[in-house]
Amino acid sequence: MSGHLYGKTFELWRAGCPDVWRDYTHHAFVEGLRDGTLPSAAFLHYLIQDYVFLVHFARAWSLAVVKAETLDEMKVCAGTVDALVNHEMTLHVKTCAAVGIDEATLFTATEEFENLAYTRYVMDSGLQGDFLDLMAALAPCCFGYGEIGQRLAGCAAPDTPYHGWINTYADDDYQTVMAAVGQMIDHAIARRLGDDPVQSVRWPHLQQRFTTATRLEVAFWGMGLRGA
Ligand SMILES: Cc1ncc(C[n+]2csc(CCO)c2C)c(N)n1
């Protein structure tokens, strides 16, 4: 697995919820992207919801800039805000424009409950908790899509219509940003919890935030499959 790419904290968190992690990264929606059998209506429904999701994730990463304690943490989090609003969302805008949905419509799309629950859970992790609580809730999105993108780039059906989506997450620049996020989280953990973070009283709470966010990712794929 590519886990070490994204740091040792991520490896511990992933190992703390192996079943739900697999449900997320090998979901039927993901396999439909890989083999091309995902109905285009389901993909479009997902993508419109995901645009709104990214708007709120950009807010959450911006909150991480506010909660950061070092300039390095600020740089990585601000870089992620930039990657989100100026790069990742381009996929959504272009794909939707091609079927006649403009960006203003995307921005005001009605959120499905699974979408609402996930983004507001992450925001609350940062509002109620500190920088680490927020990172634990943000981590599954980054590293899960990183793993999915890498795996699908190596085994997707040549004729799947979803290469654009796969390439967005398999892309070297994207993988580099995610590796930087993983390193930053390792440093943030060491700075606040010391060298043996698993022994900290905070560890079970951080693991629970990571696991909950991963369950919310599984629900998000399910929302996509259900369609509009
Ligand atoms: C439901 C859902 N989960 C994760 C991602 C991927 N993602 C969202 S924000 C971010 C960090 C910076 O780009 C990443 C990787 C997505 N698009 N939609």
* pLDDT, tens digit (0-9, with 9 covering 90-100), for 181-206: 999 999 999 999 999 999 999 999 99
Q: What would the pLDDT profile of 46-94 be if each residue is shown by its tens digit?
A: 999 999 999 999 999 999 999 999 999 999 999 999 989 988 898 899 9
Say which CATH number the domain at 90 has: 1.20.910.10
DSSP code at position 6: G
Atom 4 in ligand 1: residue holding the nearest Cα? 141
Nearest atom, ligand 1, residue 84 CA: 13
Q: What would the pLDDT profile of 99-147 be if each residue is shown by its tens digit?
A: 999 999 999 999 999 999 999 999 999 999 999 999 999 999 999 999 9
Q: Which of 46, 135, 142 to mutate to test the pocket of ligand 1 (most atoms within 8 A of CB)?
A: 142
Q: Mean pLDDT lowest for which of 12-16, 48-52, 172-176? A: 172-176
Atom 17 in ligand 1: residue holding the nearest Cα? 50
Query: In 3D, which of 15, 11, 2 has the Cα closest to residue 189?
Result: 11
Cα–Cα dist 50/33, whole Å: 15
Domain count for the chain: 1
Report whether residue 80 contacts ligand 1, using a CB cutoff of 6 Å: yes
Q: How confident is the model at residue 98 (pLDDT cuts 50, 70, 90)?
A: very high
Q: Domain of 35? A: 3-226
Q: How much is the pLDDT for 173?
A: 87
Q: Under 8 Å CB-to-CB from 33, ≥6 apart: which residues?
A: 43, 152, 156, 160, 162, 165, 166
The complex scores an ipTM of: 0.96
Q: Is 210 in contact with 136 (CB distance < 8 Å)?
A: yes
Report whether residue 188 contacts ligand 1, using a CB cutoff of 6 Å: no
Q: How confident is the model at residue 1 (pLDDT cuts 50, 70, 90)?
A: very low
